[in-house]
Structure 1
Amino acid sequence: MTAPARKQALAALGTAAALALTACAGSGGAEGDTNDDVEASTKISDDPVTLTLAFTDDPPTEALIDGFEKKHPNVTIKTQQTPFNDYVKSIKLGMSSDNPPDLAQYNPGAMNSLVPAGLIQDLGPWSKAYGWQDKFPPASLEVLSSDKSAKQFGTGSLYAAPGALSVLGVFYSKSALADAGVQDVPGTLAEFEDAMERVKDAGQTPLSLGALQVGGFQLWNALLDVTGDVDSYRDWVYGKPGATIENEDARKAAEKLAGWVDEGYARESANAKADTDAQADFASGKNAFLVTGNWAAAALEAEMGEDVGFFLMPSPEGGTPEVASGASVAYAISSKSEHPNEAAAFLDYLSSPEAAKIQFDTGFMPVDTEAELGAEGVRNEIATGFAPVAQADGIVPFPDFASPGMIDKLTPGIQGLINGKTTPDDFLRSLQESWNEHHGS
């Protein structure tokens, strides 16, 4: 990834000064060559246009559509929402049909078949025309790029644009830390461990952990972010030939997670606890810390008020964190869309200052990391922590991105670390086996 460029406020879309670029905008393939010769332009039609957008469970979509339609009253975007568990199957069927949605929420699992089939538009011409490298954090674009096989990411063509960003960090209870005699927010990993020890000595389990779902491997991921080699980890997640997760950094992160359970910082019963239950326990005062993403901020602030705070997982050396796991709600354009320029205008709108406020108000981090948000409380702490990460090329993807079956290895693997039935080496070996099966050893 390259460091994100400084962004200027966007001009209105579709003006007389709109920049146009004629190029082959299709991604190719037998099924997806409908618009191979489309003229990719930043000027959109003044006539009534209706787009369809398929998405799953994400809060910003409807609000972003409302904002775009106010800016372009002649464009109507109709939505097709599908539950998360059914989305991959649904969008594969929908995009390969004779009447696909114009826009679809990006999903790496679906891309494995949609990109090779040529059903998703190569967005390179619009990226160049709009200057997306200067409007979106390049880190957020790189993860949405792939080769034509959709097996290696961070290379090749751009197939989606981000509509909102997220970041993983540590929520904490100010009152719980005060009761334990912890005066300052931990600035190093050792200080974080010392704070958890003090909380435990005060009679409370420090860390609320839900390992029944994704909370366990997100904790491992957060530790690896600050103790491992970021480039090596990205290579593995992106599917770079020869990459491996069986390395000393990943092993140490797994050992530390297991060690925290042994120290009593989290309980083995976490294996039976859902993420929502872990969040509820933390909000009700049962624990001092919770590792999760900014998506939990609104609910936690509503229940805990000014008692909840946030910091990014600190590194052993301390200082301003410049690495954290994150993801984006993103959208792709069908290669069969009859209105690709209008669909691309919606993608460009996602980088605007107006969209930034919508993204933030719906619980996500804005694509425009320099937008004035007027944030207060815990959401201000999240935004303040996130900005230097985005601006320092520090956003790294979650590990389940590495292969379609990776989540089925991560969750039970972490559960095994927690209950002591799986060694760190066995855990990492299972992840690499899933990687090898998809990418080739």
Structure 2
Amino acid sequence: MRRGIAGAAMGAVAAVVLAGCAVGGAAGNGELDASQVSTTITDEPVTLTISYVNDPPTESLVEAFEEKYPNVTVETTLIPFGDYIKSINRSMASDNPPDIAQFNGGAMRSLIPAGLVYNLDPYSEAYGWDKTIPSSTVETYTTDVSTGAKQLNTGGLYAVPGGLSVLGVFYNTDLLAQAGVEEVPTTLAEFEQTLQAVQDAGTTPFSLSGLEVGGFQLWQALTEVLGPVDDYKDWVYGAPDATIETAAAKDAAQKIIDWTEAGYIPSNANAVSDSDALANFAQGKAAFLLTGNWNTSALMESMGDGVGFFVLPGVEADAAPVAPGSSVAFSISSKTKHPDVAAAFLDFISSADAAQLEVDGGYMPVNTETEVQAAGVNAQVVASFADVIAGDGIVTFPGIAAPGMISQLQPGVQGLISGHVTPEAFVKSLQEEWSSFHD
């Protein structure tokens, strides 16, 4: 399929390893050394194939890359989200895999040990990616083959981002004005006071989806601002002896209970989907929505100048900003006949030339040093993202901590909202799932 375009927005980066989906290939084939790589690509005609599931500005990036390298033709194949892991495992193990594949944690934890995707460290050194790509945005894509690719943020680099994301709080400017709120909160306590002021003014504070990912995204954001973020990162990356049974994680769960009991979170949140939560907020039925930049364009279209954005504040006003986020990233097949051309594409999507295209496509730029043009609330999102990324404060989503983690997160947060699950029981269930995979 030539340049297939996905309409789905990027949600939680969730990965589920499919049982019984075997991957062929001999371990170790994914290693390169510096003598095998070059940043100079051929001027002969080349066709490069890419398989992907999300749609950062894939089409515009492809067109710009082809314009830069007229001898290269890029053919893209869009694979539906629900089929991606199974499909990409099979295609990468075949005799004719795509040259480039969108990274997926569930698939890559099989493909990397099988040697079916390249360790990109030699290209990273050749292109200087360690200087141009923020370190917090590639932690998810580094792993050590000797650990079976279970532990992340260690070892070699296996993917490069093609569009970044940041999750924060969108707010209805008119509803806050009606509640007498004149300033964006700078601490979590001030935010809670704002929630109360909105409720006192007769408006529902939060539009929240407990049915899908919105609930556990709120829990993650609270966990990160309530305690040492490194504790959460160790757990989500699979560091030895890591645990989520921390004070911050329990306090975050308790906040969800408290906010529901106070009426800040609607009692029917467990029946609300992500799309419904977005629509309710856009229609002025709630003052706040915690979601990612991928929804910015839709909110600008429906709300115009009536919407603003800030990152969930910390306990102290001077706390370093942190926020959930991730990226759409791409890996190179170890069977490709054009590794240097494939690496040139990865370098392009992380370059200054691609930055504006990524912002125009609804993502944050990989090259964060480049000035980009953004208007309305998107300018606030870009500015907030810059503040977070400056301190390496982007923190990946909890679904990658273990293959079955989503199946614990969703019902667990629903239990917090309904009052049937305690914070202790919630984090214990997450840790048990983590241990079943890592121990």
TM-score of the superposed pair, with normalisation by structure 1: 0.91
Deviation at 1:67, TM superposition (A): 1.2
Counterpart of 1:108 (choices 105, 109, 117) is 105
Q: How does 1:205-244 map to 2 (within 5 A)?
A: 205-244=204-243
3-state SS of 2:162 partner = strand
Is residue 314–residue 321 contact of structure 1 (8 Å, CA) maintained in 2?
A: no
3-state SS of 2:51 partner = strand
Is residue 28–residue 113 contact of structure 2 (8 Å, CA) maintained in 1?
A: no
1:122 aligns with 2:123: no
Partner of 1:331: 330
Is residue 410–residue 431 contact of structure 1 (8 Å, CA) maintained in 2?
A: yes
- Large movers: runs of 4+ above 3 Å: 34-38
Residue identity over aligned pairs, in percent, reads 55
Alignment deviations for residues 293-347 of structure 1 (CA, whole Å, 9 cap, x no partner) = 0001000000000000000000111137521111000000000000000000000
Alignment deviations for residues 209-248 of structure 1 (CA, whole Å, 9 cap, x no partner) = 0111100000011111111111111100100010000111
Partner of 1:164: 163
> Which moves more between the two structures, 426-435 or 62-71?
62-71
* 2: CA distance, partners of 1:206 / 1:34: 50
1:144 aligns with 2:141: yes
Counterpart of 2:47 (choices 50, 54, 68) is 50
Q: How does 1:83-98 map to 2 (within 5 A)?
A: 83-98=80-95
The amino acid across from 2:73 in the alignment is T
Aligned residues between the structures: 413
Q: Let me know the Cα RMSD of the aligned residues.
A: 1.4
* 1: CA distance, partners of 2:164 / 2:30: 31
Partner of 2:14: none
* 1: CA distance, partners of 2:30 / 2:193: 60
Q: How does 1:170-185 map to 2 (within 5 A)?
A: 170-185=169-184
3-state SS of 2:109 partner = helix
> Which moves more between the two structures, 279-288 or 364-373?
364-373
Partner of 1:403: 402
* 2: CA distance, partners of 1:320 / 1:356: 28
* 1: CA distance, partners of 2:219 / 2:32: 43
3-state SS of 2:101 partner = strand
Is residue 224–residue 248 contact of structure 2 (8 Å, CA) maintained in 1?
A: no
> Which moves more between the two structures, 351-360 or 155-164?
351-360
Partner of 2:196: 197
Partner of 2:315: 316
Is residue 160–residue 350 contact of structure 2 (8 Å, CA) maintained in 1?
A: no
Provide closer, same or farther for how the CA distance between residues 108 and 88 of structure 1 changes in structure 2, counting only shifts above 3 A: same
1:250 aligns with 2:246: no
Deviation at 1:135, TM superposition (A): 1.1
Is residue 313–residue 321 contact of structure 2 (8 Å, CA) maintained in 1?
A: no
* 2: CA distance, partners of 1:367 / 1:253: 30
> Which moves more between the two structures, 117-126 or 388-397?
388-397
The amino acid across from 1:86 in the alignment is D
Alignment deviations for residues 58-83 of structure 1 (CA, whole Å, 9 cap, x no partner) = 23222211111111111111111111
Provide closer, same or farther for how the CA distance between residues 375 and 34 of structure 1 changes in structure 2, counting only shifts above 3 A: closer
Partner of 1:10: none
* 1: CA distance, partners of 2:394 / 2:278: 24
Partner of 1:264: 263
Partner of 2:11: none
TM-score of the superposed pair, with normalisation by structure 2: 0.92
Is residue 56–residue 328 contact of structure 2 (8 Å, CA) maintained in 1?
A: no
Alignment deviations for residues 119-144 of structure 1 (CA, whole Å, 9 cap, x no partner) = 01010100000000011111112221
Is residue 32–residue 120 contact of structure 1 (8 Å, CA) maintained in 2?
A: no
Provide closer, same or farther for how the CA distance between residues 34 and 183 of structure 1 changes in structure 2, counting only shifts above 3 A: closer
Is residue 56–residue 162 contact of structure 2 (8 Å, CA) maintained in 1?
A: no
Is residue 32–residue 335 contact of structure 1 (8 Å, CA) maintained in 2?
A: no
Deviation at 1:29, TM superposition (A): 6.4
Alignment deviations for residues 348-379 of structure 1 (CA, whole Å, 9 cap, x no partner) = 00121221001100110001112111212111
Is residue 35–residue 337 contact of structure 1 (8 Å, CA) maintained in 2?
A: no
3-state SS of 1:288 partner = strand
Structure 2: segments with no counterpart, 5+ residues: 1-23
Deviation at 1:31, TM superposition (A): 6.0
Is residue 29–residue 116 contact of structure 1 (8 Å, CA) maintained in 2?
A: no
Deviation at 1:33, TM superposition (A): 2.6
The amino acid across from 1:146 in the alignment is T
Is residue 300–residue 307 contact of structure 2 (8 Å, CA) maintained in 1?
A: yes
Provide closer, same or farther for how the CA distance between residues 230 and 343 of structure 1 changes in structure 2, counting only shifts above 3 A: same
1:80 aligns with 2:77: yes
Q: How does 1:255-404 map to 2 (within 5 A)?
A: 255-319=254-318, 321-404=320-403
